[in-house]
Every structure is written in structure tokens, then in C-alpha cells.
Amino acid sequence: CVRGGGESGRGALLASATITLLMALLSLSQSSEYEYLNWKTETFTGGRTYDRPPQCMPIPDDLRLCHDVGYGSMLLPNLLEHETMAEVRQQAGSWVPLLHKNCHADTQVFLCSLFAPVCLERPVYPCRWLCEAVRDGCTPIMESFGFPWPRMLHCDQFPQDEVCISTPNTTEARQPKGYLPVCPPCEDEMKTDVILEHMCASEFAIKTKIKEVKRENSDRKVILQKRRKALKFGSLRKRDLKKLTLYLKNGADCPCSQLDNLSNTYLIMGRRVDKQHLITGIHKWDKSSKEFKKTIKKLESHKCPTFESLFK
């Protein structure tokens, strides 16, 4: 925090901050929907020593999470203390599949304000209510994949009475928490890039048929037929594949059209959480679809980026 300096020092600091903020707003008004509601008073480093001073750098095209966020440059180190662009890419990659779920209109704004903060003289953090709105909208979907809202994004660490980032959408009415019109793994978006991103974010992927689906507490238990082909083993071993049973987490009551007709063959992606193997994506194995055939062909040579999951 900035302390001391007398009234003249505080006045000069306030004037400087105001001028900087106005200049920033003028330069960004044409390219971003951010609203800068106040100034976070802590210094950028927060007491931490970095190898390099903060720099303004172009957002690279391969930073999929933020390359089209509405502005072209970002501060590095960012507000999550990532010091290199390689580290930003690695960590941000795990969030890209969440954007496709459209759990909240401001998900990208919130995440990119931390991963790729806009270049200003001082950093501006997201408002607490922006964090809370995105958290409440996205947590039900994240939980369906076995992910809790991560500790590093706990909303009470963000400002509410200081300068912060919000958007016009933040206060709009949302669906009630827990409302899932379709089970998230069943959203059948047949786009190659989307399927590949989900594949990379999943631990395993198999080609199989389904024998039976049962309700088990708040989940759906998916029992597979004996013939199963692993396209990606990940955490699975061959002996695990033989006795594999899958679960649609919190999927007892939400619709999943793929499970309405069990005569199909499926591409199923998943990950292990505790002692369960959860479905993270399910697609009909549709040989008549050009997009699906293109996806399967790309799978043979596609190399997933390496990233560490932030959902801890």
C-alpha cells in the first residue's frame, strides 16, 4: 500500500492516477467493453521480486484464451505472477474448454483480466462481483467435470470498494445457480477445434458402445459394452479399460440426447476424479459427418499443448 507523504503527496498521486486512468479509458474505449471502476492501490509486484520489470507485450495468436479479448497488448508478469509467455500459455490452456460452455458472458473478460491484463501504468484487478458472477455461472459446469472453483481465484481477494474491472453484463439476470439445460459433457458441438481442445483437456478418450445407463444418486452410471478402443490412454491402463465404468457427474436429471439411443457408437472423453471415471465429452461416432471425419483424421497427428491444470 502507498502510505504517508502528506496531503500534497496523496493529492499528486490521486491526480496522476486520475490522468492515467482517463488516458487509458480514451485509448481503450473503441476496443474493449471493460469498465474501470476504481484503482487498486497495491503496487504491481506486491512485494515480490521479479527477474524483469513489468513489460507491455502483444497478446500472441496462440494464446487462445485471450487473443480476441478486445485489446492487443498485455502486461507481463501478469496478475497471476506468471513471468514468461510460455508459462501464461501453459496455464491458460486449461481454461479454453470452459469458454466453449458459455457458462457466463463475462468468463473471458474475468480470466483475461488476470492472465493477460491490459497495459496500464498500474494493474487493475477484476471486481469482486465480476468474479462472483462468473463463479456462480460456471461452478455448476466445472463441478460436472469434477473441478471445484480453484483457490487461486477465490473472489474475496478481489476489490469491491476500490478501482476494479467490471462489465455491463455483470449485473444482468442469470439462470439460477445449478441450472443446467443440457448436461455439459453432452453439448454436441461438432467442431474440430472444440473437440480437439476437449480431447487435450481430458485424460483419456475411447471409441465404444454403451450397454446400459442407470441412475446412481445424482449421477448417471454408464455401463459400456465389451469392445472398447482407446484413442488416448492417459491415466488409464489396459486392465482399467476392460472394467471401465463411466459416470455423468450430476447428470441424473439434465438432458443428454446422446444417451437417448444406445445403438450408436461413441467417442467418449473423460478423466478420473477420486475413484470415479467421469465423462467430460461424448459425441456420436458419425462417419457421415465431414466435420467428424476431419476431427478423427486430425487426432492421428494432433499434439496437445502441455499445461498444468489450475482446477485444484
> What is the full per-residue pLDDT of the chain (312 aa) written as tens digits?
222 233 333 333 333 333 333 333 333 333 344 444 443 334 444 444 555 678 999 999 989 899 889 899 999 999 999 999 999 988 898 888 888 888 899 999 999 999 999 998 888 999 999 999 999 999 988 888 888 899 989 999 999 888 899 887 655 545 545 555 788 898 877 788 888 888 888 889 999 999 999 999 999 999 999 999 988 888 788 888 888 999 999 899 889 999 988 999 999 999 888 888 999 999 999 888 898 888 888 887 777 765 444 333
Question: In the chain, where are the structural domains located?
Answer: 6-166, 184-299
- Chain centre distance of CA 216: 28
Check if 6-166 and 184-299 are the same fold.
no
pLDDT at position 188: 73
Q: Per CATH, the architecture of 6-166 is what?
A: Orthogonal Bundle (1.10)
Instruction: Return the pLDDT at 306.
Output: 57
Q: pLDDT value at position 94?
A: 81
The pLDDT of residue 249? 92
Asked if residue 234 lies in contact with residue 202, where contact means CB atoms within 8 angstroms, the answer is yes
Q: Reduce the DSSP state of residue 167 to 3 states and report it.
A: coil
CA 234, chain centre distance (Å): 21
Alpha-carbon gap, residue 150 to 239, rounded angstroms? 32
CATH number of 184-299: 2.40.50.120
**Listed residue (9, 12, 15, 17) closest to 38, CA to CA:** 17
Position 275 scores a pLDDT of: 85
Question: Which run of H or of E encompasses 212?
Answer: strand 204-216
* 107 grid coordinates: 468468463
The reported pLDDT for the residue numbered 19 is 30
**DSSP symbols for 82-125:** --SHHHHHHHHGGGHHHHHTT--TTHHHHHHHHHS-B--SS--P
pTM listed for this prediction: 0.67
